[in-house]
């Protein structure tokens, strides 16, 4: 204790207060950037305000039990703890409208009515890091190309192996410099598989264009050749993976991205971008904005507080696609959402999972 201040309690409260305040303000860079301090300060607390509240309450109870709140420094720390708790409640309130936002977007942009499931509050409140399901099996590390571990994919399916459901192909983020098929989106893959989908999550080559895009095409070709007894094939991805998903959907059969397998069917029935990056990764032609055309149905989900890939970039692609595509372009701008909102099974992400399931069901009916 320094000058009557309980140092441990003060540091804990100060750290939570800083992260909460930053999340509330939502500072963003002038343009899309792969790494921004605001992201690192807020990406966890923005999706896990409940856990932050637990930590704050536990620390305060411990400080009270040890008599720290009887000091001037302890009282000041407790006052900041109360203010921080109020900020965390605001973060929770920001996530609550997500269900309304995604339902309205699906209805207005694609005529898809969404029946939201009851929230699994026990899961959300007590076990957000637990994303696996006992009724889902993962067949791991299947080779789809010859680039070693960068050409491996995992398949998620319910244990009773139902047929006829949609197929979701997912590509991880990481700015084309890092990432792995078992990072983001795992809650989505397990939840959809439990609902009868087949989900595929794939690695791809990094740090070189167009190798990642060629690999993405190879994954679709593998799916078309090996999972033929299912419904629509939907390509998806987060951040850089969203770029891959959009490019795959916009370049079906393009020989530039299919060297040695130009005859393979790499078409998809729909595409989903989670907080995607849609700019150029090389020269002209390396951005979805360069490839805009009549396309399969799209679903875009992006947070209005994203401080890595800015929401304005997604708005631009959505606007361009709506000008030329005859198929639905669904856009849901998620209130209060930061980059990588799909790391854990949070309140916000539970609504996103339902939206993806509804989008797939709509494609299946179509």
Catalytic residue numbers? 239, 306, 339
Detail the DSSP E strand segments found in 3-151. 136-143
At a CB cut-off of 8 Å and minimum separation 6, what does 86 contact?
A: none
CA-to-CA distance for 261 and 218, rounded, in angstroms? 8
3-state secondary structure of 206: coil
At a CB cut-off of 8 Å and minimum separation 6, what does 189 contact?
A: 156, 168, 170, 199, 201
Structure tokens at 203: 């690695």
Largest CA distance in the chain: 76
Detail the DSSP E strand segments found in the chain. 136-143, 152-158, 167-171, 198-202, 233-238, 270-274, 298-303, 329-334
Residue 10: other Cβ atoms inside 10 A: 21
Residues facing 333 on adjacent strands: 302
How is the beta sheet containing 270-274 ordered, strand by strand? 136-143, 152-158, 198-202, 167-171, 233-238, 270-274, 298-303, 329-334
At a CB cut-off of 8 Å and minimum separation 6, what does 65 contact?
A: none
């Amino acid at each position: 204790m320094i000058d009557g201040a309980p140092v441990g309690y003060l540091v804990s409260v100060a750290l939570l207060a800083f992260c909460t305040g930053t999340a509330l303000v939502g500072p963003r860079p002038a343009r899309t950037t792969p790494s921004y301090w605001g992201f690192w300060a807020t990406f966890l607390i923005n999706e896990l305000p409940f856990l932050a509240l637990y930590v704050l309450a536990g620390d305060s109870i411990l400080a009270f039990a040890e008599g720290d709140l009887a000091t001037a420094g302890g009282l000041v720390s407790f006052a900041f703890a109360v203010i921080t708790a109020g900020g965390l409640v605001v973060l929770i309130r920001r996530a609550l409208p997500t269900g309304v936002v995604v339902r309205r977007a699906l209805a207005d942009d694609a005529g898809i009515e969404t029946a939201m499931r009851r929230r699994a509050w026990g899961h959300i409140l007590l076990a957000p890091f637990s994303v696996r399901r006992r009724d889902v099996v993962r067949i791991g590390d299947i080779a789809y190309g010859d680039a070693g571990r960068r050409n491996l994919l995992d398949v998620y399916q319910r244990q009773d192996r139902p047929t006829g459901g949609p197929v979701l192909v997912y590509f991880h983020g990481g700015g084309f410099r890092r990432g792995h098929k078992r990072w983001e989106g795992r809650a989505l893959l397990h939840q959809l598989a439990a609902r009868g989908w087949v989900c595929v999550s794939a690695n791809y080559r990094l740090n070189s264009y167009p190798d990642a895009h060629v690999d993405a095409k190879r994954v679709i070709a593998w799916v078309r050749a090996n999972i033929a007894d299912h419904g629509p094939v939907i390509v998806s991805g987060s951040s850089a993976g969203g770029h891959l998903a959009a490019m795959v959907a916009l370049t079906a059969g393009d020989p530039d991205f299919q060297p040695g397998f130009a005859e393979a069917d790499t078409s998809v029935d729909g595409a989903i971008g989670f907080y995607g990056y849609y700019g150029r990764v090389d020269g002209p032609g390396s951005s979805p904005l360069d490839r805009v055309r009549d396309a399969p149905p799209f679903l875009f989900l992006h947070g209005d507080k994203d401080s890595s890939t800015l929401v304005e970039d997604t708005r631009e692609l959505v606007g361009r696609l709506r000008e030329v595509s005859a198929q639905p372009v669904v856009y849901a701008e998620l209130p209060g959402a930061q980059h990588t909102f799909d790391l854990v099974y949070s309140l916000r992400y539970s609504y996103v999972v339902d939206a993806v399931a509804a989008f797939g069901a709509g494609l299946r009916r179509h």
